[in-house]
Structure 1
Amino acid sequence: MEFTSTRGEQRYAALVRAAAETVVGLDFDGTLSPIVDDPEQAHIHPDASAVLVDLATQVCAVAVVTGRPARQALDLGGLEEVGNAVGEAGKELYVFGQYGNERWSSTRRRVVGPRPPHGLATFLRDLPRTLRSAGAGEAWLEDKGLAVAVHTRRLPDPDAAFEALLGPVGDLARSHDLSVEPGRHVIEVRSAGMHKGLVVERLVEELGAGGFLFAGDDLGDVEAFEAVGALDDAGLPTLRVCSASDEESTLVAMSDVVVAGPEGVLALLAQLTADARDSRA
């Protein structure tokens, strides 16, 4: 792991001391699982389950906070089994899907979420025409129930297609009173009013957290990083971890620690677990 500053090292040391009261929030794609061409094949890193269960013994709670539907993240991550093991340790695993619109926990084992946003059905009806007009009619559409994602990763020039679509798709979304969340070769359209930063705030309030670590890799994690930054300003021990890639660098400037993809994230979490355990010895 690479600290971005001396202050980052100090934040890590403070978080180790506050580990028992700390909530660890983790993005899924690019953070716990590698980025792949087919999102339905983005299985969690093979070491993640063991690392998360061990981590849970040293912290207040672990939360996976993702733009994916919660059920999809549970299945791809084997997170129900992880939740069983975390529960046996007397701790809680949370999964917040669709940027916090859906919620699952290892004690209340069902996904709870709202109805699809008004306007999404008509947006989806009008979307193919917009894609064709922008010369990206072959972009892959992912209907998440509460959102629609337009993926350009499979196209011949995914970067150019993304840039060509961002404006028109955004305009169409706003005409249906929907919000736009750009990511790595994906444009997600969903209802306004919910984002990962609100999940951070909710967890701190509900659990009385005395510290917070959030690890992410993409533009969809910016609000979570901002919320963690506000907690730091308020005096809580915090750490912002960027799972870096060649495709997206926005979070690097906001981070305390930069690591190389899911393997780097898991190595950091394993180190945090070991350091927290040693600090209690």
Structure 2
Amino acid sequence: MTPELSPEQTPLSLSPDLLESVRGIAATEHLLVAMDFDGTMSPLVDHAADARALPRSAAAFAALTELPRTTTALISGRALDSLRAVAFPPEKTLLVGSHGAEVWMGPGSAKLELDDDRRELLAGVRRELEGIVEAAPGTLLEDKPAAVVLHTRLAADDVAVDAVAAARAVLQQRPGVFLKSGNRVLEASVVHASKGEGVAFLRQASGATATVFAGDDTTDEDALANLLPGDLGVKVGLDFTQAQFRIEAPAHVAELLEALLRERKRALGV
């Protein structure tokens, strides 16, 4: 159970303006709480399979899921199977994976299926990236249902830069291939999607009257840019952002979620 905090115990790492915005949005009719996972709910790690949400963040997020007129969602660049394996999402949490290409709205949700042309295109993309990985020590590939991801976090900086440049050179002009850059990753997808589209879809599907979104990566800027007046966008980290507010690290995401939980319960009278 997430411990209740009195107002005077509110963590000082959240600015007064951010806390005021949390109080305001918590009173909306139907709240959507949509969170990125890696670098937001979970600290960034060298090996993707080792990522886990910080316990306080996971507890507050799960508690929000159980509140009336409140929908929680994870919006991740990970494929849905990978996201489930590390995030252990609450049963009612909606999931958007592969930067919006995969969506899970509950039992019976259809899986992403590629037609023959896109499957052939994806296989060709993988062959190109395999050749780059063979020549770039420390890089590796990750397969997703509609994409192949070049990971460079374990490579030396110069090797990583050269590998990404080589991948862009062979793929950026290829029709039907969409490139996305993230934290030491380059994703080549054969489906055009974005986290911004994911936020818009979740807003419509849930009937949300206001949305909270937090994320750390460059790909999260699509979601932050898609927020509406009255929504709350929070950047995790020090990179450039369009978000109204910034917090420094995943540890502060826990404080944000706990504050949101406290104010939402107060607004709902539960």
Q: Which of the five TM-score ranges fits, normalised by the shorter chain?
A: 0.7 to 0.9
Amino acid at match of 1:70: L
CA apart distance, 1:268: 0.4
What does the per-residue CA deviation read over 1:4-50, in whole Å, with 9 as the maximum and x for residues that have no partner?
A: x95x56543431221x4121111111111111111111122233332
Question: Does 2:180 correspond to 1:190?
Answer: no
CA apart distance, 1:111: 6.2
Q: Which runs of 4+ in 1 moved over 4 A?
A: none
Q: Determine which of 71, 75, 78 is the counterpart of 2:85.
A: 75
Question: Does 2:38 correspond to 1:45?
Answer: no
**SS of the counterpart of 2:226?**
helix
Q: Determine which of 248, 263, 266 is the counterpart of 1:260.
A: 248
CA apart distance, 1:191: 2.3
CA apart distance, 1:261: 2.3
Aligned to 1:239: 232
CA apart distance, 1:171: 2.7
Q: 1: CA distance between counterparts of 2:72 and 2:98? A: 17
Amino acid at match of 1:266: A
What does the per-residue CA deviation read over 1:143-197, in whole Å, with 9 as the maximum and x for residues that have no partner?
A: 2232111111111x23x33332333212322343311111111111112421110
CA apart distance, 1:110: 5.5
Aligned to 1:87: none
Q: 1: CA distance between counterparts of 2:109 and 2:200? A: 22
Checking the alignment, whether the CA contact within 8 Å between 1:181 and 1:187 is kept in structure 2 is: yes
What does the per-residue CA deviation read over 1:189-239, in whole Å, with 9 as the maximum and x for residues that have no partner?
A: 1124211100111122222211011110001111101101xx11xxxx211
Q: Which has the higher helix share?
A: 1
Q: 2: CA distance between counterparts of 1:201 and 1:239? A: 14
Structure 1 pair 280/205, CA: closer, same or farther in 2 (3 Å)?
closer
- Could you tell me which runs of 5 or more consecutive residues in structure 1 were left unpaired when the two chains were aligned: 84-91
Checking the alignment, whether the CA contact within 8 Å between 2:133 and 2:140 is kept in structure 1 is: no
Q: 2: CA distance between counterparts of 1:12 and 1:275? A: 7
Amino acid at match of 2:192: G
Aligned to 2:164: 166
Q: Determine which of 19, 22, 27 is the counterpart of 1:17.
A: 27
Paired residues in the alignment total: 252
What does the per-residue CA deviation read over 1:223-256, in whole Å, with 9 as the maximum and x for residues that have no partner?
A: 101101xx11xxxx211111216xxx123xx222
Structure 1 pair 77/111, CA: closer, same or farther in 2 (3 Å)?
farther
Aligned to 1:86: none
- Could you tell me which runs of 5 or more consecutive residues in structure 2 were left unpaired when the two chains were aligned: 1-12
Checking the alignment, whether the CA contact within 8 Å between 1:123 and 1:176 is kept in structure 2 is: no
Q: Determine which of 228, 231, 240 is the counterpart of 1:250.
A: 240
Structure 1 pair 101/114, CA: closer, same or farther in 2 (3 Å)?
farther
Percent identity, aligned pairs only, is 23
Checking the alignment, whether the CA contact within 8 Å between 1:69 and 1:144 is kept in structure 2 is: yes
**SS of the counterpart of 2:43?**
coil
Superposed, 1:90-109 pairs within 5 Å as 92-105=92-105, 107-108=106-107
